[in-house]
Structure 1
Amino acid sequence: MIHSARRCSATLPACAVSLFVLAAAGRAGAADCALEQQGEGRVAAVIDTRSLRLEDGREIRLAGIARGGADRPSGRAALAAIAAGREVTLRGDDDTPDRYGRQGAFVFVAGSEHSVQSELLRRGEALASVDIADKNCAAALATAERAARDAKLGMWAEATAIKNAESPGDILSAIGHFAVVEGRVLSVRQVGAITYLNFGRNWTRDFAATISRRIIPAFESANLGPKSLENRRIRVRGVVSSRGGPRIELLRVGQVEVLGGT
């Protein structure tokens, strides 16, 4: 039986949670999320790394998993190994299907305390997104992804898993896809309502992360004001677009991870 769920009523910046800042602040050991139950069923098919179909016909999109790893054959195989043919419980904030009829949820195989999402991330077969409002869920995903990254498992064994901000050509190959980019912010410039974190000196060719004026207060509240990031080495994640050079628009604090050193 599917239960109704409360919706997140906060504004976008306030509702979004920093996956990596929270983890670094001491939530690395947080347990997987325990959101409201949204139903259950048996997995009939694995569609891709982020999607399952249940025997009753419902298509489930794995919440918290970015589309960057959805085309990996090994990712789909890993999801099948974890969940295919298994009884699962769905948990989340809302069971309303998206415009494609897919229900977003955290999926738990019967008898497991860890979500299917965490298992995929722990194997290095997926990327964590940054749109999860629940703090425990966000921290659990960050911890699982970091463990795989540190151990160089799955995609993290590949040199191209983290894009180099100094190689805009490589980043452009990810246009339209979720990517992780790392580098040093050389300058911070505001043009109209947009602030640019420039990772290169050629503004029309090199990689940049952009922040809309309306989002700035959320970053400042998290001690991540744009000017404070100048000359810092950071890691950003999001969907790559191209407007001259490759760009990632920062809509949530969780898209930014400040790395050690200056």
Structure 2
Amino acid sequence: MLLVVVFCGANLPVMAADWRCGADIIAGDAKTLLSTDPRPVWRDVQLNIEAVDAFAAAELPGKSFRLADIAFVPGYGDAARVWLEQASANKVSITPLAERSDFLGRIPVRIEDQVIGDWQAELLAAGLAMLVPESDQDMSELIGIEDTAIKNHSGIWSDPSPETAYYVRAHDAGAENIPTARDAIGRFAVIDGKIRSIEHQEWRSYLNFGSNWREDFTIALDATLRDAFANGEDFQDILQDWVGQEIRVRGVIENRGGPYIALENPFWLCLARSSRAQ
């Protein structure tokens, strides 16, 4: 069934995210990791929607584009394409967010127009796409927009089925009737839960969400990522402060005795805002 497509109007208000992600939780001043360089912009472009993740424009021959930092998911592609085809009636501005094309020859971009505003933001607000950070841009606003969509059960976040849900909890949420990470083994999902303990090994650290690490949900940080979060400080001290905190992580859930995610990108992990984070 296609979702009803409604444009929310230009320029969504900035959302105050309940989460700190990526550069916001890296020790010290990590804002230097985010790009502040001006990007070239192609203006007044008429897009042709070839697929939900492939656009072209007669004004820019030989180029193919896709929206950066978001992904479209099975079951909602038709609704997303309807949205994109309606949006493409407007001329847009295109900002490339990568120096090179991806492996399919598409340039990851931001797309905006004067009627709808930021396409990524609007698709996330409607629950027609999932945030999958990949660029060197500040994700704070998009994280807040997606968080609101999750809370409102919009679009892809409305599915409560253990077999297909994209939002799950690390453990049984009881009366909330939310699937668990174990239900989502084998697919990409967003998982919320509270860290109970952390184990460090030479090349990896494990964030454990239950009393039995062999069966309960675990996040693995390789040495490069944990050092990035520590940003020159002692990684054990930095990560220990996460114990007891609510975490949001996204990725493909593997089966390693229990559900398991090997974190790929620091922006794929978030800490809930608390009195310690203010």
TM-score, length of structure 2 as denominator length? 0.68
8 Å contact 2:22–2:267 — kept in the other structure?
Answer: yes
Match of 1:88 in 2: 92
Write the letter of the residue equivalent to 1:42.
Q
Write the letter of the residue equivalent to 1:66.
A
Q: Which runs of 5+ in 2 are unaligned?
A: 1-19, 26-35, 172-179
Inter-CA distance 81–204: structure 2 relative to 1 (3 Å threshold):
farther
Write the letter of the residue equivalent to 1:157.
S
For the residues of structure 1 that align with 2:98 and 2:268, how far apart are their CA atoms? 23
Match of 2:3 in 1: none
Alpha-carbon offset, residue 35 of structure 1: 5.2
Please tell me whether residue 126 in structure 1 is matched to residue 129 in structure 2: yes
Match of 1:103 among 100, 107, 110: 107
Question: CA deviation digits over 1:88-136, x for unaligned, max 9?
Answer: 2210343522221111111123x2473211110111111112223222x
For the residues of structure 1 that align with 2:274 and 2:100, how far apart are their CA atoms? 44
Question: CA deviation digits over 1:64-99, x for unaligned, max 9?
Answer: 1135x365232333233323x442221034352222
Write the letter of the residue equivalent to 1:103.
I
Please tell me whether residue 208 in structure 1 is matched to residue 213 in structure 2: no
Inter-CA distance 53–143: structure 2 relative to 1 (3 Å threshold):
same
For the residues of structure 2 that align with 1:38 and 1:238, how far apart are their CA atoms? 31
Inter-CA distance 133–70: structure 2 relative to 1 (3 Å threshold):
farther
How is 1:91-240 mapped onto 2 (pairs within 5 angstroms)?
A: 91-109=95-113, 111-112=114-115, 114-135=117-138, 138-159=139-160, 160-166=165-171, 167-174=180-187, 177=188, 179-221=189-231, 225-240=238-253
Match of 1:79 in 2: 84
How is 1:6-85 mapped onto 2 (pairs within 5 angstroms)?
A: 18=21, 21=24, 36-39=39-42, 41-48=45-52, 50-55=53-58, 56=61, 58-67=63-72, 69=73, 72=76, 73-83=78-88, 85=89
Q: Which runs of 5+ in 1 are unaligned?
A: 1-16, 23-32
8 Å contact 1:37–1:89 — kept in the other structure?
Answer: no
Question: CA deviation digits over 1:206-250, x for unaligned, max 9?
Answer: 321111122223323499932222232211122333444332222
8 Å contact 1:122–1:148 — kept in the other structure?
Answer: yes
* SS of aligned partner of 1:203: coil
For the residues of structure 2 that align with 1:82 and 1:113, how far apart are their CA atoms? 7
Question: CA deviation digits over 1:5-51, x for unaligned, max 9?
Answer: xxxxxxxxxxxx936948xxxxxxxxxx9952343532222412x43
For the residues of structure 1 that align with 2:221 and 2:256, how far apart are their CA atoms? 14
8 Å contact 2:186–2:252 — kept in the other structure?
Answer: no
Question: CA deviation digits over 1:165-196, x for unaligned, max 9?
Answer: 1234312041xx3x210112122112331101
* SS of aligned partner of 1:188: strand
Decide which structure has the larger Cα Rg and report it. 2
For the residues of structure 2 that align with 1:237 and 1:145, how far apart are their CA atoms? 13
For the residues of structure 1 that align with 2:74 and 2:56, how far apart are their CA atoms? 15
For the residues of structure 2 that align with 1:78 and 1:210, how far apart are their CA atoms? 37
Alpha-carbon offset, residue 156 of structure 1: 2.5
8 Å contact 1:234–1:258 — kept in the other structure?
Answer: yes
Alpha-carbon offset, residue 57 of structure 1: 5.3
Alpha-carbon offset, residue 260 of structure 1: 5.9
* SS of aligned partner of 1:37: coil
